[in-house]
Structure 1
Amino acid sequence: MIMGIANDVTGLKVYGEGEWKVKKHGTDRKRRVWRKLHIAVDTSTHEIVAAELSLSNVIDAEVLPNLLKQTRRKIIEISGDGAYDTRACHDAIRIKRAVPLIPPRESAVFWEQKGILAIWR
């Protein structure tokens, strides 16, 4: 059982000149290629329990359901920043029967629950 999972993402440059060289010698004409590394970390042990690499244009919230599918262990709480405040993320967290610890987005509005997930809530 996992007491809590913290989710976040970081950018990785996989091709292109370093920022220091560009700053020192001016812009280069080469295109930089970035990827996003999405991770879910056990907040008690700091163990990475799930990870996924995506293209740089993938929205963070799109990946959370896949991260949660990577572990079969029971999860009590799932936390992340406001980027994870989407219906898809909240539905995936409910399926895991965990408590979401996600702040609302600035543009957040109430949404109506429908179907079997509304009954569970």
Structure 2
Amino acid sequence: MLEKHGTKTRRSWRKLHIGMDANTGQIVAMALTTKDVDDGSQVGPLLIQVATSVASLTADGIYGKEGVAATFAERHPEALIIVPPRSTAVSSETALNAPTQRNCHLQ
């Protein structure tokens, strides 16, 4: 069998990141990355593809990083960020003086 089919090669998987319109269910942005790319790093490239205003960002806990919230707020400051905080999340240094949405979710 080995002569017929050759050696088995290990396949590397990929991740598909999508931005979806919650009202219509239409995919409005997408990015395909290798397994080694940080999920949070794709928020900016996805937002660039969105032509309309964004009311909210809903994502899983991996997107609960401060950098993700900052990237999103930079482009859509009025939008709501709905991301469950990670179990190890801590408030930022400005939490008392100028709390962000992320800091409010941690309390």
Please indicate the TM-score interval, normalised by the length of the shorter structure.
Answer: 0.7 to 0.9
Contact 1:93 1:99 in 2 (8 A): no
Q: For residues 22-80 of structure 1, give each alpha carbon's deviation from its aligned partner in whole angstroms, at most 9, with x where no partner exists.
A: xxxxxx74111211110011111000010001111112111112111211311111110
Q: CA RMSD in A?
A: 2.2
What letter is aligned with 2:89?
A
Q: Any stretches of 5+ residues in structure 2 without a counterpart? A: 1-6, 102-107
1:52 matches 2:20: no
Contact 1:68 1:92 in 2 (8 A): no
C-alpha displacement at 1:119, in angstroms?
9.3
Q: Counterparts of 2:100 and 2:83 in 1: how far apart (Å)?
A: 19
1:107 to 88, 92, 95: 88
2:18 to 10, 35, 39: 39
C-alpha displacement at 1:92, in angstroms?
1.6
The 5-angstrom pairing of residues 1-121 of structure 1 reads 29-95=8-74, 96-97=76-77, 98-113=79-94
Moved over 6 A (4+): none
Structure number with the bigger relative contact order (C-alpha 8 A, sep ≥ 6) is 1
Q: Which has the higher strand share?
A: 1
1:24 equivalent in structure 2: none
Q: Counterparts of 1:68 and 1:29 in 2: how far apart (Å)?
A: 39
TM-score (norm 2): 0.75
Q: Counterparts of 1:82 and 1:41 in 2: how far apart (Å)?
A: 17
Q: Counterparts of 2:47 and 2:67 in 1: how far apart (Å)?
A: 12
Q: Counterparts of 2:100 and 2:9 in 1: how far apart (Å)?
A: 52
Work out the number of aligned pairs and report it.
91
For residue 73 of structure 2, give the secondary structure of its aligned residue in structure 1: helix
Q: Counterparts of 1:86 and 1:110 in 2: how far apart (Å)?
A: 11
Q: For residues 87-113 of structure 1, give each alpha carbon's deviation from its aligned partner in whole angstroms, at most 9, with x where no partner exists.
A: 121012211121100010111111124
